[in-house]
A and B are shown apart, each in its own frame.
Chain A
Amino acid sequence: MKYNDHSKPSDPILLSGYIDGEVDTAEKEAVESWVRESEPISNELAALKGVSSQIQTAYRLQLTEQDRSRFDRELMRRIEASRQEEGWIYRLFAQPFRSYMRLSWQWQAAMALLLMLLVYLPFMPGSTKNLDTPIFNTDLNGNIKIESEQNVGYDFILLTTEDDKEDEIGAPYQMYHHT
């Protein structure tokens, strides 16, 4: 049976399927046989068909060619108005995004990964100047510092083996020591 393996020819819901032509050949023959043999079922089938007919009558609607043309024209007008509202900026971004969303999830993931790599590439290690803190005995430009007791006015970070010190405003700094 098409809809219910356990349905017997006496299942009344098949009457509905029979009216709509939605039962297979075996079910159709079973229903027809049942209707022939049972007057109540025959009456029920007639009642159900009558209901369908009454619905068709109650909701009869005549659509003329004029109605159809008017409908199509108005629909196109609404669609064009909707497209105009979007604006060129929206279309500039929306169109690529829509194309992207139409891809399968595998392609979406691959493209997202590619985009991430393109953004990250300039910042990968070795690709730019080393911005780490300077080496122990060099200044920020990489020049080796010359130890001196004089104040040479270097404006760089001093390293120390002593405890941290603080300047006049309390900012910590470290003294460079000659070893």
Chain B
Amino acid sequence: MGEKELIQRVQNGDTEAFCALVESHRDSLIHVAYGFLHDKEEAMDAAQEVLLKAYRKIQSFKFESTFYTWVYRILVNHCKDRLRKKARKPTVSIEDLGQDGKVFDLPDHRSNPGERSAAHERDQLVRNAIDSLPEKHSKILLLRELGGLSYKEIAQVMKCQEGTVMSRLFHARKLLAQKLESIKEDLL
């Protein structure tokens, strides 16, 4: 069944059609939310809230874009709102703290604890570097690298031209490479 037919069924109140609609993009929605929020449970919660919003507003969906680009747009705005609220009240969940007090997002199965710690720090540096990029660059980078969206889809989400997407991605990657290079030099 095509996307349009599924959406029409959802508009008529069929919740199972909604499940079928979101199934193919569930993982990448959670992944993109994780890119913004850095916490798996929070990312899953945010993705659910976004999908609930999409379900409630599905009557106003006018097929001017694809359903997924519409949902990703809601997701990006929702995550940014969450981050703003979090910035006002910074908290860290107790469960997230490891024995050394550092924040762990994902268990690392590398055998050497030293290697795990170094890898974790490296990952954290990359995340911090991405968070420090201008918003238009970080958003586009996460949509492409974590969401796997095509340039056309990103253009619809970000409301810009495909050429602009390519240009911003290039500059975002270049900026990030420069930041990571300078961090590496500082650490050495």
Determine whether the beta carbon of A61 is less than 8 Å from that of B30. Answer: yes
Q: A51-B180, A76-B19 are in contact. Are A59 and B30 (CB under 8 A)?
A: no
Determine whether the beta carbon of B173 is less than 8 Å from that of A98. Answer: no
Please give the distance in Å from B131's CB to the nearest CB on chain A.
11
Most buried by A among B19, B150, B167: B167
Q: Is A58 an interface residue (CB 8 A)?
A: yes
9 contacts between A and B (CB under 8 A): A13-B170, A17-B151, A20-B151, A47-B174, A52-B145, A55-B130, A70-B44, A79-B15, A101-B60
Determine whether the beta carbon of A55 is less than 8 Å from that of B163. Answer: no
Interfacial residues, chain A to chain B (CB-CB below 8 A): 3-4, 12-17, 20, 22, 47-48, 50-52, 54-63, 67-68, 70-72, 74-76, 78-80, 82, 98, 101-102
Most buried by A among B123, B166, B167: B166
Residues on B with beta carbons closer than 8 Å to the beta carbon of A15 = 170
Interfacial residues, chain B to chain A (CB-CB below 8 A): 11, 15, 18-19, 22, 26-27, 30-31, 34-35, 40, 43-44, 47-48, 51-52, 55-56, 59-60, 106, 122-124, 126-127, 130, 141-142, 144-146, 150-151, 162-163, 166-167, 169-171, 173-174, 176-177, 180
Residues on B with beta carbons closer than 8 Å to the beta carbon of A12 = 170
Q: A3-B166, A62-B106, A75-B48 are in contact. Are A101 and B59 (CB under 8 A)?
A: yes
Given A22-B166, A63-B27, 6 more contacts at CB 8 Å? A13-B167, A17-B151, A57-B123, A62-B106, A76-B15, A79-B55
Determine whether the beta carbon of A59 is less than 8 Å from that of B52. Answer: no
Please give the distance in Å from A130's CB to the nearest CB on chain B.
47
Determine whether the beta carbon of A79 is less than 8 Å from that of B52. Answer: yes
Interface SS of B by simple majority: helix
Q: Which of the residues B127, B169, B170 comes within 8 Å of A58, measured between beta carbons?
A: B127
Report, nearest first, the 8 A-B pairs whose CB atoms are least far apart: A16-B170, A58-B126, A58-B123, A13-B170, A3-B163, A98-B59, A55-B145, A16-B169
Q: A55-B141, A61-B30 are in contact. Are A82 and B44 (CB under 8 A)?
A: no
Please give the distance in Å from B135's CB to the nearest CB on chain A.
16
Instruction: Give the docked Cα–Cα distance between A55 and B142 (Å).
Output: 9
Instruction: Give the docked Cα–Cα distance between A50 and B60 (Å).
Output: 42
Determine whether the beta carbon of B127 is less than 8 Å from that of A61. Answer: no
Determine whether the beta carbon of A82 is less than 8 Å from that of B52. Answer: yes
Determine whether the beta carbon of B177 is less than 8 Å from that of A59. Answer: no
Determine whether the beta carbon of A59 is less than 8 Å from that of B19. Answer: no
Q: Which of the residues B15, B124, B150, B177 comes within 8 Å of A50, measured between beta carbons?
A: B177
Please give the distance in Å from B106's CB to the nearest CB on chain A.
7
Instruction: Give the docked Cα–Cα distance between A13 and B106 (Å).
Output: 34
Determine whether the beta carbon of A17 is less than 8 Å from that of B126. Answer: no
Determine whether the beta carbon of A82 is less than 8 Å from that of B169. Answer: no
Q: Which of the residues A47, A68, A82 comes within 8 Å of B55, measured between beta carbons?
A: A82
Instruction: Give the docked Cα–Cα distance between A22 and B173 (Å).
Output: 16
Instruction: Give the docked Cα–Cα distance between A122 and B130 (Å).
Output: 68
Determine whether the beta carbon of A82 is less than 8 Å from that of B30. Answer: no
Determine whether the beta carbon of A59 is less than 8 Å from that of B60. Answer: no
Residue of A nearest to B119 (CB): A57
